[in-house]
Chain A
Amino acid sequence: MTEYVGQSMPRYNGIGQVTGTARYVDDIQFPGMLYVKVLRSPVHKGTIRNLDLSAVAKTTGVAGVLTADDIPGQNAYGFYGDSQVFNPKQPRFKGEPIAAVVAVDEDTAMEALAKAKLDIEEQTPVFDMFEALKPNAPLVRPGTANNLFEYAPGKTTFVIKLGDIEKGFQEADHVIEGTYKEGMQDHCPMEPHVSVARIDDADRLEIYTHSQCLNVHLGFLCPVFNLPQSKINYIGGRCGGGFGGKNDIHCDHIAGLAALKFRKPVKFRFTRKEDLAYSTKRGPWVFEYKTGFKSDGRIVASHIREFHDSGAYTGLSPYCIEKCGMFASGPYAVPNILVEAQVIYTNKPVSSSMRGFAVLNGQVAMETQMSRIAEQLGLDPWELRFINAWRDGDMGASRYVVQGAGAIEAMRKCAELAGIQLPAKLMEMNSRRR
């Protein structure tokens, strides 16, 4: 019998991608479809004194407007439940949705939105994490004491401890410290965010989505619409590139609300500008690494401080710092580890998941430390990594036991392909035992 796992074969659903028949959400059109455009905060931080949408609603071709008052359920969603569908009071980042208009086409919607009378008091925002940590910094979240995510009242630092960090640094022959700054990146899938919603023949809310995680998002949407899962048909399965950006809802909630209110098919799509400027992001990081090592190259202590910029809402940031911390000492057996990590709010777009997740950011810092250690010791950078690489049974930072380790195997393959002859002592090593 043929065994298929292990064989190269082209994409099962690929023919439609080369003929143009593969259906993406923006390809769906219904007769009489309405289009949504969102009124976004023009300021990074502000307080709305008054919003008058009467002229918007009266514009020819406009079906009506949507505000927070139109939400049948809760005006909150997201992995930590604090993102708002519409922010009617105190926008926290430039581009945050305040309200929406629903019209026969996008041009009409844009023209109508220009008539919105938004009276907003602009306030001083904070963009930099370390500015946000200062005592008198502007508060990103109204009614909070500071700009830090709290795990529990007063507990703002996530900690991982393995072994004895002080003892580790005492044993070390050398210590290298480094501070690493990593920027904000957009997923930039070729398919911009889009959603199509309508009421179907069974009076269900039908939503066509490019969500990466249908079940999770259905769980977010039901409380917004105040509908049980049986009243929503959430149809997806194909996505024009996600890279983590479509792990967060950008359009489905607002398209769904419009379909519920106006009982017509509705499309809501981002422009590329909205995608680049206002969608969720890979949030910025600053790392402070202190790595202790022996003269023979063995890493014996790793103290890591993570500062993660969450933007204006929580996104996935606590999960990010936790997962980053678990792996931030790289694929290496380090007996003594201390990770201290914080999530800091700023008036920027929301940080969330992106390809490589938060783990990527820690690897970049750790690997740069490793390269610097190799330089300082005058050791071959391959050898330094082979010596320290995980073997099966090693213990990682959060006390997980390493199984199926393969860093040595990956490096050997890479060297072979690069035409690099590794020394015999490295070629003899493997990940099964030290």
Chain B
Amino acid sequence: MKKKGVGMSCVLHPTGNKGAGDPSQAAIQLKPDGTFTLVTGAVDLGQGSSTILRQFAADELGVPIENITVNNSAGNAAPVTMGSFASRVTLIDPHAVKLAAEDLKAQICKWAAAQFGVNPDDVTFADNKVAVKNDPAKSLTMAEVGAGVFNSPALMIGTGAWYPAPFTAHDPETGAMPSVGAVSFGACYLELEVDTETGVVDILKLVQAWEVGKAVNPLMCKMQIGGGLSIGLGYALSEECWPHAPSMDFVPEVLGDYFIPTFADYPLENERAVAEVPHPMGVKGAKGFSEGSSTAPIPAIIAALHDALGVWITEIPVTPEVILRALGARG
């Protein structure tokens, strides 16, 4: 018999390493034609770090985004980034980019002031130009600045480095340790159908919303919310490296033995959305969240299975075998 159930969950995901430390660096170089190279050590795993850091760089410099190229594969020449883990890049690295942009703008203003014969404070940097504050006729386009810098003994590389706070360890007695980065929040609602003969679960509808501080790139937020289902649905329902531990020696050796979700396992109805509560620690309120999209569906599945079957399942993955065992135990 097929039974339907609904369930919901609310979870968090901390972004940034606990205990702080956790530094990132960035550099932005002005090129001879007035365009820019953002150099970062942030690895792009597919989460989109190069894309969003370029968005931040364009905003902080106030220049067209097309004029910024990103180099994140500079090896020895790259500024250091702690790593693309702990959903930390969106929280930490934009600070380094922002500081690098401010540094570069100050250098360019100082150089331009000398050309204009004014004080650096009297030069503005806006709309991809530098100009004298009270004499806007005196201005240079970024292309003119780039060429001028190149033809003078000058190098314009803005640098920035940031971390939230010095590293702190847990108090050995109480575990106290107040430094957490930023926390993101997700909620999931889903409807499923479970076959009581076979134990097979079919997710019919899944809704997931994440509070992300600031949606830096809404398309990519949506991609991350949907993307996390692969690992979340797999962990909840089908993936187990040691399915018969400790009694047996069998381990999956091919993807035909280890079942990660396929097109067919994604729910037919799938809604994704973000909410925004600007986080005080983030640039423009931004923080990471993507890892958590794997988390939220799992307890919602357990709740929906209870709704459908009347039993609380307390182990994951909830394979068909687990469901049939739970139903058998209930009698």
The answer to A–B direct touch (Cβ < 8 A) is: yes
- Which residues of A line the B interface, CB within 8 A? 1-14, 126-128, 131, 151-152, 155, 158-162, 178-186, 188, 206, 210-216, 229-230, 232-244, 246-247, 272-273, 276-277, 281-282, 284, 319, 322-323, 325-327, 330-331, 339, 348-349, 353-357, 359-360, 363-364, 367-368, 370-372, 375, 381-382, 385, 389, 396-407, 409-418, 420, 431
Nearest CB in chain B: distance from A199 CB, A: 15
Nearest CB in chain B: distance from A116 CB, A: 21
Contacts of B75 in A (CB 8 A): 206, 233-236
- Selected contact of B209 from candidates A272, A276, A410, CB within 8 Å: A410
Contacts of A180 in B (CB 8 A): 314-315
Q: How many Å lie between the Cα of A184 and that of B234 in the bound state?
A: 11
Contacts of A406 in B (CB 8 A): 184-185, 211, 213, 275, 277
Q: How many Å lie between the Cα of A412 and that of B286 in the bound state?
A: 20
Q: How many Å lie between the Cα of A206 and that of B76 in the bound state?
A: 10
The reply to whether the CB of B316 lies closer than 8 angstroms to some CB of chain A is yes
The answer to whether residues A404 and B41 also contact, given A214-B78, A239-B46, A326-B18 and a CB cut-off of 8 A, is: no
Interface centre among A273, A277, A363, A414 (most CB of B within 10 A): A414
Q: Are A417 and B175 in contact (CB under 8 A)?
A: no
Q: Are B231 and A243 in contact (CB under 8 A)?
A: yes
Not counting A381-B8, A404-B281, A412-B275, a sample of 13 additional A-B residue pairs whose C-beta atoms are within 8 angstroms of each other reads: A6-B215, A183-B315, A276-B258, A277-B251, A326-B180, A355-B231, A368-B303, A398-B180, A403-B280, A404-B280, A407-B10, A414-B187, A417-B271
Q: Are B43 and A359 in contact (CB under 8 A)?
A: no
| In the complex, chain B residues 65-115 whose Cβ is within 8 Å of any chain A Cβ | 65, 70, 72-76, 78, 80-86
Q: How many Å lie between the Cα of A331 and that of B302 in the bound state?
A: 18
Closest residue on chain B to residue A155 by CB atoms: B172
The reply to whether the CB of B260 lies closer than 8 angstroms to some CB of chain A is yes
Nearest CB in chain A: distance from B18 CB, A: 5
The reply to whether the CB of B196 lies closer than 8 angstroms to some CB of chain A is no
Nearest CB in chain B: distance from A416 CB, A: 8
Q: Are A183 and B240 in contact (CB under 8 A)?
A: yes
Q: How many Å lie between the Cα of A327 and that of B314 in the bound state?
A: 19
The reply to whether the CB of B176 lies closer than 8 angstroms to some CB of chain A is yes
Q: Are A398 and B299 in contact (CB under 8 A)?
A: no
Closest residue on chain A to residue B316 by CB atoms: A182
- Which residues of B line the A interface, CB within 8 A? 7-14, 18, 41, 43-46, 48, 50-52, 54-56, 58-59, 62, 64-65, 70, 72-76, 78, 80-86, 126-127, 170, 172-180, 182-189, 205, 207-211, 213-220, 228, 231-232, 234-235, 239-242, 245-246, 251-255, 257-258, 260, 271, 273-281, 284-287, 290-292, 294-296, 298-300, 302-303, 306, 312, 314-317
Contacts of A211 in B (CB 8 A): 43
The answer to whether residues A239 and B43 also contact, given A11-B51, A276-B258 and a CB cut-off of 8 A, is: yes
Q: Are B186 and A410 in contact (CB under 8 A)?
A: yes
Please list the 5 inter-chain residue pairs (A to B) with the smallest Cβ-Cβ separation, ordered nearest first. A213-B83, A406-B211, A160-B175, A237-B73, A367-B299
Q: Are A277 and B315 in contact (CB under 8 A)?
A: no
Q: Are A235 and B294 in contact (CB under 8 A)?
A: no
Closest residue on chain B to residue A237 by CB atoms: B73
Q: Are A325 and B175 in contact (CB under 8 A)?
A: yes
Q: Are B185 and A405 in contact (CB under 8 A)?
A: yes
Nearest CB in chain A: distance from B309 CB, A: 13
- Selected contact of B242 from candidates A348, A353, A355, CB within 8 Å: A348
Nearest CB in chain A: distance from B206 CB, A: 9
For this complex, 8 residue pairs linking A to B, each with C-beta atoms less than 8 Å apart, are: A213-B85, A214-B83, A215-B82, A216-B83, A322-B175, A364-B298, A401-B178, A404-B285
Q: How many Å lie between the Cα of A381 and that of B48 in the bound state?
A: 35
Contacts of A339 in B (CB 8 A): 175
The answer to whether residues A5 and B216 also contact, given A236-B43, A364-B302 and a CB cut-off of 8 A, is: yes
Q: Are A327 and B281 in contact (CB under 8 A)?
A: no
Q: Are B241 and A185 in contact (CB under 8 A)?
A: yes
The answer to whether residues A420 and B189 also contact, given A160-B174, A234-B76 and a CB cut-off of 8 A, is: yes
- Selected contact of A5 from candidates B81, B251, B286, CB within 8 Å: B286
Q: How many Å lie between the Cα of A239 and that of B252 in the bound state?
A: 24
Q: Are B64 and A213 in contact (CB under 8 A)?
A: no
